[in-house]
Structure 1
Amino acid sequence: MKAIHDPHGVLAHGLAAIRSQYQVPAGFPPQVLEAATRAAARPLIDHADRSSVPFVTLDPATSTDLDQAFWIEPSGADLILQYAIADVAWFVDDGDAIDVEAWRRGTTIYLPDGKAGLYPPVLAEGAASLLPGGPRPAVIFTVRLRPDGEATLDSAERALIRSRAKLAYDAVTAADLPPAFAEFAARMDAAEKMRGAVRVDPPEQEVEALGDGRYGLAFRPLLPSEQHNAALSLAANLAIAAALQQAGTGLFRVMAGPTAKAMARLRSTAAGLGLDWPQSDDLKAFERTLDPTNPHHAAFMLAVRRAGNGAGYAPWIPGVTPWHEAISATYAHATAPLRRLADRHVIRATLAVANGKPVPDEVEDAFRRLPAVMAKADATSGVIERAVIDLAEVVMLQGREGERFAACVTDLDGESARVQLVDLPVITRVKLPGAAPGARVELRLDSADTASRRLIFAPTG
């Protein structure tokens, strides 16, 4: 769970309880660790030598499970992205102990005090990670980006690479990056606007010390380096999705837009937060006007993320165009195989398609089984994320019992109202008979219980 950072460790006891309640794995079974140790020593014998390409990685400073390395060069009016992705499939065989455990987990689970990885550290933070030096095995996707921002897949190959530098979001400079890095992101941004897409990137939340044993939740907007880096993954995933769709195979990330009820709730939330959302503007147009450094805008961005139907996975079906509403395109996940089970199989299919080979039967079978497995894993991650947010909200408001808070009503369920605090990123439920969506109300905090991770508010009137 990447949305909340806890540098002071004030959530430690509550996080331990969450790990226990949701049975977050604390490690790996011995047979999985033994298999991973053997796999890490596997000779690298089926990879082209691309160690002369000056690849770099760009991640949070503390990350060691590095999925992606990149380099960008011009080709006439086009930009060529060489995107090296960790070759997890080189180390993991269908049906081996590592694979079976990965299918059980589905994804890496993130919490503020650490993660429960999809693969053992000897692979995810060692042999398979694209750490500096090398050589490291990777699958290089060569993605061509036209001036209008259309991304196409030129080729895919297994290769050995040497990353020149492990760059960090908060310290990277333009001189560290390929000269065309910002231009690549600008083309992708322009293309997104042209097709009406909006990526909701709400700011991250951090627990900050306020003194006197009190804590708050502060917003940290994404850095430009993070946003630009995300454009590389987006381009590759769009190009890969198009190639797989054309070949009649693949696994796609799909998402419908918010329901009418969710849209009404968002309208009410915007009104309660004092945001001017013209009736003539749809949600995507309004989102493009939001400033993540504004706390009220940031709170609304979080509300948008919570309002969606949620994304899922779907295999290729003849005659059906898989669609991701937020991206306004056909989209796949192929760029984070150390963190998501599905990506490893999409990469294998893309390697086959790009080189004119049939997709292995094991991969086609995986595409049929993965939607249910990934849905379960995503649901578990979502429940844990919600529990962490609830815990952080309680810690933030402990000691403020009796205080009054302005809130807005977002929707109703009988006498129970969902409310958003106006000045804090907190959503809760309160009994408010007769309340109307969009109404401003004043609430009193009666209880902030860390054991139950529950806030209890009551109307003051």
Structure 2
Amino acid sequence: MKTLIDSTNALIDGLAAIRRQYGVPEHFPPDVLAAAEAAARRVPTKHVDRTDLRFVTLDPATSTDLDQAFTIERSGADLLLHYAIADIAWFVDDGDAVDQEAWRRGTTLYLPDGKAGLYPPALAEGAASLLPAGPRPAVIFTTRIDADGNVRLDGAERAIVRNTAKLAYETVGEMDLPPDFAELARRIEAAENRRGAARVDPPEQEVAPAEGGGFQLLFRPRLLAENQNAALSLASNVAIANALLAARTGLFRVMPEPDKKAVMRLRQSARALGLDWRDEATLAEFEKTLDPADSSHAAFMLAVRRASGGASYVPYREGMVPWHAPMAATYAHATAPLRRLADRYVISAALAIANGQAVPATATAAFETLPAVMGRADARDGQIERAVVSLAEALMLRGHEGQSFEAVVTDTDDHALRIQLCDLPVIARVRGQGSKPGDRIRVRLTAADPLQHTISFELMGGAS
């Protein structure tokens, strides 16, 4: 859960209810913990020594499950990104207790009051995490980025690396980072723009006390270092996906463009928020104009994410080009193995391909079964995220029952209207008929229940 910060612990009771409702694991079984403790003592024996390279990590200050470390060097006009990825596969055997539990979980679940990890802390926050406490085993993927931002996987190896600095988004300075960090991010962004990519990275929402009592939802815009750091993962994942596709194997992350109905709803949301989306501009073009520091723009970015058809995983199929529309590229997940089960197998396959070896049979078999496992995990992630946002909205609106709000209709069905409040980042439904998308209406808040994470409105008058 990356879109809400609860620094005041205002959501604590509601979050406990959400954890119960969606079966968020509270702990690991004893046999899994014991197996993880034993695995954490394994000594790497298939890794070359790369501790002479100055790897650093860049994450939120409180992060302890560090998947990625990086360093950058020049190669003529090209940049070489050496991306060290936590080698969780070194510690986990196929079919052991830790592996079986990871297949049950699929992903790490993030909520504002804490996470439920994919792997036990002895691994995810200890022996496998790329912390600066000492050398760690990793898989280094080297991606070549040319002057135009085109990427190619140049090599991969298992290696021992040393994290020389645990950098934080909140405090990092330009001198802390490897040379050409900003240039690499610029090249990747330029290539995205040429491809017509339309990634949307909404700012985090924060629950904060409101003047006069109650609570409000505020936005914390993403920091420049966060956006630049995301370019490193994007470059590596695209390069790895292209290598897998060329080898006619792999597991890919795909996502369709929003359909016409979703785009129509988004246009009405933009109208509700007072945004100027020209009729001739596409959604991708309009997204380029958004400023996450502006609360109305930030609210629209959240609406875009909610309107998406959803991403999924697909294995390689002959004659099919897997496509991620927001990335405008073939794309794979390989850079967060401590948090996503699928990445472990993508890494295994990419490591083999880069070294001219056969893809392990375990990875090939996993590519066929992982889409269903990851689909269930993603669905639960999405349900929890929506529930948490609804909880925050209910908390913000509690005490305002009976108050009227202006809204714009974004969609309709036989019995209800989908609405976007004009002055708050709230999307809701209200029973009623006779309105059409784009109509401006007034609604009255009838209930706001944080424990049930629900809000209810009633229609007050006709459309305008």
Q: Tell me if structure 2 keeps the 8 A contact 1:272–1:439.
A: no
2:350 corresponding residue in structure 1:
350
The reply to whether residue 14 of structure 1 matches residue 14 of structure 2 is yes
2:103 corresponding residue in structure 1:
103
| 1:211 CA displacement | 4.3
Work out the CA distance in 1 between the residues paired with 2:216 and 2:272: 22
1:324 corresponding residue in structure 2:
324
1:152 corresponding residue in structure 2:
152
| 1:213 CA displacement | 3.8
Work out the CA distance in 2 between the residues paired with 1:211 and 1:417: 32
| 1:286 CA displacement | 0.9
1:71 corresponding residue in structure 2:
71
Work out the CA distance in 2 between the residues paired with 1:353 and 1:179: 29
Work out the CA distance in 2 between the residues paired with 1:421 and 1:211: 21
The reply to whether residue 131 of structure 1 matches residue 135 of structure 2 is no
The reply to whether residue 338 of structure 1 matches residue 338 of structure 2 is yes
1:141 corresponding residue in structure 2:
141
2:300 corresponding residue in structure 1:
300
Counterpart residue type for residue 168 of structure 1 = A
TM-score (norm 1): 0.99
Q: SS at the partner of 2:448?
A: strand
Q: Tell me if structure 1 keeps the 8 A contact 2:14–2:452.
A: no
Q: Tell me if structure 2 keeps the 8 A contact 1:78–1:145.
A: yes
| 1:122 CA displacement | 0.4
Please list the CA deviations of residues 18-76 of structure 1 after superposition, one character each: whole Å capped at 9, or x if unmatched: 11111100010111001100100001111100001010000000000000000011111
Work out the CA distance in 2 between the residues paired with 1:307 and 1:33: 39
Counterpart residue type for residue 120 of structure 1 = P
Please list the CA deviations of residues 349-396 of structure 1 after superposition, one character each: whole Å capped at 9, or x if unmatched: 011000000001111000000001000000011111111111111111
The reply to whether residue 361 of structure 1 matches residue 361 of structure 2 is yes
2:429 corresponding residue in structure 1:
429
Please list the CA deviations of residues 244-271 of structure 1 after superposition, one character each: whole Å capped at 9, or x if unmatched: 1001111000011112211221122222
Residues 374-385 of structure 1: matches in 2 within 5 Å? 374-385=374-385
Counterpart residue type for residue 113 of structure 2 = D
1:249 corresponding residue in structure 2:
249
Q: Tell me if structure 1 keeps the 8 A contact 2:257–2:325.
A: yes
Work out the CA distance in 2 between the residues paired with 1:366 and 1:290: 39
Q: SS at the partner of 1:101?
A: helix
Counterpart residue type for residue 287 of structure 1 = E
Work out the CA distance in 2 between the residues paired with 1:176 and 1:236: 22
Kindly report structure 1 stretches of 4+ aligned residues shifted beyond 3 Å: none
Counterpart residue type for residue 345 of structure 1 = Y
TM-score (norm 2): 0.98
Work out the CA distance in 1 between the residues paired with 2:271 and 2:245: 41
| 1:459 CA displacement | 2.5
Q: Tell me if structure 2 keeps the 8 A contact 1:415–1:434.
A: no
Unpaired segments ≥5 residues, structure 2: none
1:258 corresponding residue in structure 2:
258
| 1:212 CA displacement | 4.4
1:279 corresponding residue in structure 2:
279
Please list the CA deviations of residues 209-253 of structure 1 after superposition, one character each: whole Å capped at 9, or x if unmatched: 124441111011110000000000000000000111001111000
Q: SS at the partner of 1:15?
A: helix
Q: Tell me if structure 2 keeps the 8 A contact 1:134–1:162.
A: yes
Q: SS at the partner of 2:24?
A: coil
Q: Tell me if structure 2 keeps the 8 A contact 1:295–1:423.
A: no
Q: Tell me if structure 2 keeps the 8 A contact 1:312–1:375.
A: yes
Work out the CA distance in 2 between the residues paired with 1:219 and 1:426: 13
Please list the CA deviations of residues 405-432 of structure 1 after superposition, one character each: whole Å capped at 9, or x if unmatched: 2211100012300111112111111123
2:269 corresponding residue in structure 1:
269
2:223 corresponding residue in structure 1:
223
Work out the CA distance in 2 between the residues paired with 1:150 and 1:433: 51
Please list the CA deviations of residues 318-337 of structure 1 after superposition, one character each: whole Å capped at 9, or x if unmatched: 11111000001100000000
1:288 corresponding residue in structure 2:
288
Work out the CA distance in 1 between the residues paired with 2:312 and 2:450: 32
Residues 80-229 of structure 1: matches in 2 within 5 Å? 80-229=80-229
Tell me which moved more, 306-315 or 204-213.
204-213
Counterpart residue type for residue 70 of structure 1 = F
Work out the CA distance in 1 between the residues paired with 2:53 and 2:152: 21
Counterpart residue type for residue 118 of structure 2 = L
Counterpart residue type for residue 342 of structure 1 = A
Work out the CA distance in 1 between the residues paired with 2:446 and 2:24: 31
Q: Tell me if structure 2 keeps the 8 A contact 1:444–1:458.
A: yes
Question: How many percent of aligned residue pairs carry the same amino acid?
Answer: 62
Q: SS at the partner of 1:34?
A: helix
| 1:109 CA displacement | 0.5
Q: SS at the partner of 1:139?
A: strand
1:314 corresponding residue in structure 2:
314
Q: SS at the partner of 1:56?
A: strand
Q: Tell me if structure 1 keeps the 8 A contact 2:417–2:429.
A: yes
Counterpart residue type for residue 100 of structure 2 = V
1:399 corresponding residue in structure 2:
399
Counterpart residue type for residue 181 of structure 2 = F
Counterpart residue type for residue 166 of structure 1 = K
Residues 405-420 of structure 1: matches in 2 within 5 Å? 405-420=405-420
Work out the CA distance in 1 between the residues paired with 2:38 and 2:66: 21
Q: SS at the partner of 1:82?
A: strand
Counterpart residue type for residue 358 of structure 1 = A
| 1:442 CA displacement | 1.7
Work out the CA distance in 1 between the residues paired with 2:428 and 2:278: 26
Counterpart residue type for residue 180 of structure 1 = D
| 1:290 CA displacement | 1.0
Counterpart residue type for residue 36 of structure 1 = A
| 1:460 CA displacement | 2.8
Q: SS at the partner of 1:325?
A: coil
| 1:273 CA displacement | 2.1
Counterpart residue type for residue 141 of structure 2 = F
CA RMSD for the aligned pairs?
0.9
Work out the CA distance in 1 between the residues paired with 2:396 and 2:274: 23
Counterpart residue type for residue 14 of structure 2 = G
Please list the CA deviations of residues 164-185 of structure 1 after superposition, one character each: whole Å capped at 9, or x if unmatched: 1110001000010012010000
Counterpart residue type for residue 360 of structure 1 = P
